[in-house]
């Protein structure tokens, strides 16, 4: 994510490997369920022992004593319909919701976000070597959603799987998931997200079953 500023995106989670290294983002849609993208994981049968999500912090590598940090191991990966490129991650226990950790809403099935809606993306992806300059990657970056227009989003490493959240009826709704695209986004190229509203029935079914 280029530009933007530190923000509070309490549904955005950091997905970490066995070495505790952040490698992708995700969104908390239920206390025990996170949504991310299939491209972040080796296989639908991946053994995720040692993998975990980190919630409730602003900084990618918060201090050990960060009062709001929650770290929860992942117990299972469930792949979405083949063309969705989505996965759901089941946490070993529910996250505790508070001012730093909240659920994001799911859109109605097959909902299309009206143009002009205020949206934002969030993540701890590396911004090294970009216009934002050095410094600890922090969370958050409000952007205005423009249809097929002059977006200039470049989604570098580590933001994949994170949320495109849009403000609808005074609530933030997960309308997109950041996914690796053909090339880095440029001014003449729209950013690409997975349209979550197409897969909401699958998401509810996984949670229910």
Partner 1 sequence: HRSPLNDFQRLRATELLAVPAEPPPPLPEQGSAEQCAQRCATSLACRAFHYDRQSQLCQLLSWTQHSPHVQLQKNIHYDLYQKKDYLRDCIVADGTSYRGTRATTEKGLRCQHWQATTPHDHSRFLPSPRNGLEENYCRNPDRDRRGPWCYTVNPKVRHQSCGIKKCEDAVCMTCNGEDYRGAVDHTESGTECQRWDLQHPHKHPFHPDKYPDKGLDDNYCRNPDSSERPWCYTTDPGREREYCHIRFCKKRPRPLNLTTGCFRGKGEGYRGRVNITVSGIPCQRWDAQTPHQHHFVPEKYPCKDLQENFCRNPDGSEAPWCFTARPTVRIAFCFQIRRCPDELDAQECYHDHGERYHGHISKTRKGITCQPWAAQAPHVPQISPVTHPEAHLEENYCRNPDNDSHGPWCYTMDPRTPFDYCAIKPCLAQSWLMPMLLADAVAFEQCGRREERLQQKGR
Write out the residues near partner 1 by the rule CB under 8 A: 6-11, 23, 39-40, 42-45, 47, 58-59, 76, 78, 81-85, 99-100, 102-112, 114, 117, 140, 157-158, 160, 165, 168-173, 179-183, 198-199, 201-202, 205, 208-209
For residues 62 and 69, is the Cβ–Cβ distance under 8 A?
yes
Cβ 209 to partner 1 shortest distance, Å? 4
Q: Which is nearer to partner 1, 71 or 118 (CB)?
A: 118
Bridge partners for 53 per DSSP: 15, 72
Task: Output the smallest distance, CB 161 to partner 1, in A.
Answer: 11
CA separation, residue 152 to residues 187, 192, 206 (Å): 5, 12, 35
> Least distance from C-beta 71 to partner 1, angstroms?
19
Q: Please state the closest distance from residue 19 (CB atom) to partner 1, in A.
A: 15
Q: Nearer to partner 1 by C-beta: 82 or 187?
A: 82
Measured from the Cβ of residue 107, the count of other Cβ atoms closer than 10 Å reads: 19
Nearer to partner 1, 126 or 152 (CB): 126
Nearer to partner 1, 59 or 143 (CB): 59
Element (H, E) at 24: strand 22-30
* C-alpha–C-alpha distance, residues 84 and 139, integer Å: 26
In angstroms, give the least distance from the CB of 111 to partner 1. 6
Using DSSP's 3-state secondary structure scheme, residue 60 falls into coil
C-alpha distances out from residue 188 to 32, 133, 153, 185, Å: 39, 23, 10, 8
């Amino acid at each position: 994510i280029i530009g933007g500023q530190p923000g509070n995106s309490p549904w955005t989670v950091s997905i970490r490997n066995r070495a505790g290294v952040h490698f992708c983002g995700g969104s908390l849609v239920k206390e025990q369920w996170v949504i991310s993208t299939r491209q972040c994981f080796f296989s639908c049968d991946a053994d995720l022992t040692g993998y975990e999500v980190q919630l409730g912090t602003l900084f990618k590598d918060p201090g050990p004593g960060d009062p709001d940090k929650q770290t929860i191991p992942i117990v299972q990966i469930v792949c979405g319909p083949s063309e969705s490129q989505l996965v759901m991650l089941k946490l070993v226990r529910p996250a505790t919701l508070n001012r730093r950790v909240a659920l994001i809403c799911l859109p109605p099935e097959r909902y299309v976000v009206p143009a002009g809606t205020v949206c934002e993306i969030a993540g701890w992806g590396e911004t090294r070597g970009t216009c934002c300059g050095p410094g600890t990657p922090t969370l958050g970056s409000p952007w205005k959603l423009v249809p097929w227009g002059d977006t200039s989003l470049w989604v570098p490493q580590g933001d994949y799987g994170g949320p495109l959240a849009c403000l609808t009826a005074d609530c933030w709704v997960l309308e997109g998931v950041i996914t690796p695209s053909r090339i880095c986004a440029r001014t003449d190229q729209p950013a690409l997200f997975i349209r979550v509203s197409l897969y909401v029935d699958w998401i509810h079914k996984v949670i229910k079953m």
